[in-house]
Structure 1
Amino acid sequence: MKKLTVLTGITTSGTPHLGNYVGAIRPAIEASRDENVNSYYFLADFHSLIKCHDPARIHQSRLEVAATWLALGLDTDKSTFYCQSDITEIPELTWILTCMTAKGLMNRAHAYKAAVQDNEEGGSPDPDKGITMGLYSYPILMAADILMFNANIVPVGKDQTQHLEMTRDIAQRFNHHFGEHFVLPEARVDESTAVLTGLDGRKMSKSYNNYIPLFAPEKDLRKLIMKITTNSQAPEEPKETEGCALFEMFRAFATKDQVAEMRAKFAAGIGWGYVKQDLFEVVNAQLAEPREKYAELMQNPAYIEKVLKEGAEKARAYSRPFLNRIRESVGIKTLTA
């Protein structure tokens, strides 16, 4: 049976947080243990340049994200783990795909349309004010990431499904003109994947600065959990689990038995302070060991660099000959051929 290729990228523009862990990193690492899957995991550092123009932050985030994946148990012998920027074939494929991508397709990208809408609502006479070509055309870079390794499956959130549709459109257009080179990837949206709420009641996000760092020291972790916004219900009042940020976060880290016990406590009436303490304990229990490994890895960037370079060579063993075939298909080949 031919193995499926599954590809996942994470942007290197900040510190990984609890939401990244339960929503993307943990399920990806679990999936990487499937013997019937070729897993590709990469640091999307070119993508991070779209919104972050702080070199120190980009550099630090690349280190932190790589250390996070390794500390959480990613098996780099069974998967391919690399930096996007180390695969020199990706920018070249991006340009080739750009030359085949309709501008109208890019005009419909959600991120671009949202930026235009913000400008218009802000009264700007220029709807494209402040919009870079990176923001405008990054769905093509994302397509190159996916198509370079002919990924069959790309796990994404609901907000990213449009990019997979665009990737399929770009691949189909290229295949029509130059022959069948690209597999048409499929998005995998896991409806059961938890989406954590941040400290202020909104979705946990670096953009909102409401996140809890994944490997915050134990004391800081507890302080941050104690800051999570709750309603003003009295301790003895029965409480609803539905829509409760604390309960959802607890469920993302606890066992089934622990969740059932907490549900009963909610029904009987439990003070928010006790809920937060129980939440801290289950989160800390799951992250204590990886936190120690993470701290060790952060002190050994040379080892992380070595792992990433080895992963890049493994990836390029596929991308180099594949791009050569793409180049030949569009007419960029030796003159004597």
Structure 2
Amino acid sequence: MTSKQRVLTGITTTGTPHLGNYVGAIKPAIAASRDEDIDSFYFLADYHALVKCEDPERVQRSTLEIAATWLALGLDTERSVFYRQSDVPEIPELTWLLTCSTAKGLMNRAHAYKAAVDANTASGEDPDYGITMGLFCYPVLMAADILMFNAQRVPVGKDQIQHLEMARDIAQRFNHRYGEHFVLPEAETDEHVATLPGTDGRKMSKSYDNTIPLWLPEKKLRKAIMKIKTNSQEPGEPKDPDEASVYAVYAAFASAEQRASMRQAFADGIAWGEVKQQLFELINAELEGPRERYEALINNPERVEKELAVGAEKARALSGPFIAELREAVGIRRLA
């Protein structure tokens, strides 16, 4: 019998989940949590949130919203480990052990740091103006998140592949110096993961202010969907589904049969208002039950906290003995 693959996913706690997050990351990850051949680790990356968010209330609120979202959508916490990063003190301790083995030159090459330096230089500022050590050392904390649990696979977007490569470099350097302690993680990117367009046709993103929040009440959800940008083609005119944002969103939620039927409706000249109405009905039907569970969880933070406490206990059952092994390896030992 083959041993289980360990897969780890982190969610930064800086905002409210939207439909793009749901389709692109949450839904496939929750499906993976039910796979008996996978050991799934999901964590709320609240230390990472501090790199780009200085609003304490927002970090706390986002932690609650994201945790409640995953639980409401059916994450199997019996078969997976679901924890808050800051509840596992071995992670920042490992971050320091790794920092002491990580070349500064490696960090200099990180895309986010280079982009910040380039922006400063272009605006005539000092190259390091406004850049914190949190931003600079972010890849080491990410490496610690992964290596703490020796995850073999880490699903990431293309923009995070470099950080996975850095985690491998950091692990190799530590292994070379102190013995084989870490497996080398593999980045897992899915070419078929849906990237939803937002209400303006661009990629759905908080930075574009074009998102449709996941947990809008029914009436507000319909209103948001009705705002999705379309062209000026009249009812009766054949329309191209591959050029329409509203169809791309529909396709992400629909079955193969529903997609085929909608493509035919486009060819037959369906009115934009009717497309949007059908899209609303489709999304609302999928989220209706989870929305009730989400509201119940948001209004009962103690229940969410309890789930996270159980997850932290499971995580620390692994991280505690492992950090003891790593301390021994680097020479932080009892004298007698």
TM-score (norm 2): 0.97
Q: Deviations over 1:190-238 (max 9, x none)?
A: 1111001112222111222221111110111111111112222233322
2: distance between equivalents of 1:229 and 1:119? 35
1: distance between equivalents of 2:326 and 2:201? 47
2: distance between equivalents of 1:169 and 1:269? 55
2: distance between equivalents of 1:242 and 1:131? 41
**How far does residue 53 in structure 1 lie from its aligned partner after superposition?**
0.6
2: distance between equivalents of 1:183 and 1:96? 16
Q: List aligned pairs for 1:74-89, cutoff 5 A.
A: 74-89=75-90
Partner of residue 8, structure 2:
7
Q: Deviations over 1:63-115 (max 9, x none)?
A: 00000000000111111000000000000101111111111111111111121
**How far does residue 148 in structure 1 lie from its aligned partner after superposition?**
0.2
**Cα–Cα, structure 1 residues 243 and 91, in superposed 2: closer, same or farther, change >3 Å?**
farther
| 2:270 corresponds to 1:296 | no
1: distance between equivalents of 2:46 and 2:244? 34
Q: Helix, strand or coil for the counterpart of 1:131?
A: coil
| 2:205 corresponds to 1:211 | no
Q: Deviations over 1:292-328 (max 9, x none)?
A: 0000111111011011001000000000000111111
Gaps of 5+ in 2: none
Q: Helix, strand or coil for the counterpart of 2:206?
A: coil
Partner of residue 180, structure 1:
180
Partner of residue 226, structure 2:
226
Partner of residue 276, structure 1:
276
Q: Helix, strand or coil for the counterpart of 2:39?
A: strand
Partner of residue 237, structure 1:
237
Q: Deviations over 1:236-278 (max 9, x none)?
A: 3222222432111111111111110111111222222111111
**How far does residue 117 in structure 1 lie from its aligned partner after superposition?**
2.0
2: distance between equivalents of 1:17 and 1:83? 20
2: distance between equivalents of 1:289 and 1:216? 13
Q: Helix, strand or coil for the counterpart of 2:327?
A: helix
Write the letter of the residue equivalent to 2:268: A
1: distance between equivalents of 2:230 and 2:329? 59
Q: List aligned pairs for 1:312-327, cutoff 5 A.
A: 312-327=312-327
Q: Helix, strand or coil for the counterpart of 1:41?
A: strand
1: distance between equivalents of 2:269 and 2:83? 48
2: distance between equivalents of 1:64 and 1:153? 26
1: distance between equivalents of 2:329 and 2:36? 33
Partner of residue 97, structure 2:
96
Number of aligned residue pairs: 335
2: distance between equivalents of 1:111 and 1:321? 33
Deviates more, 1:271-280 or 1:162-171: 271-280
TM-score (norm 1): 0.97
Deviates more, 1:195-204 or 1:62-71: 195-204
Write the letter of the residue equivalent to 1:38: D
**Cα–Cα, structure 1 residues 180 and 208, in superposed 2: closer, same or farther, change >3 Å?**
same
Q: Helix, strand or coil for the counterpart of 1:320?
A: helix
Q: Helix, strand or coil for the counterpart of 1:38?
A: strand
**RMSD of aligned Cα (Å):** 1.1
Partner of residue 25, structure 2:
24
Write the letter of the residue equivalent to 2:312: A
Q: List aligned pairs for 1:159-174, cutoff 5 A.
A: 159-174=159-174
2: distance between equivalents of 1:107 and 1:182? 24
Gaps of 5+ in 1: none
**How far does residue 49 in structure 1 lie from its aligned partner after superposition?**
0.8
2: distance between equivalents of 1:3 and 1:82? 20
Partner of residue 196, structure 1:
196
Write the letter of the residue equivalent to 1:4: Q
Q: List aligned pairs for 1:128-167, cutoff 5 A.
A: 128-167=128-167
Deviates more, 1:167-176 or 1:193-202: 193-202
1: distance between equivalents of 2:105 and 2:245? 40
1: distance between equivalents of 2:77 and 2:44? 14
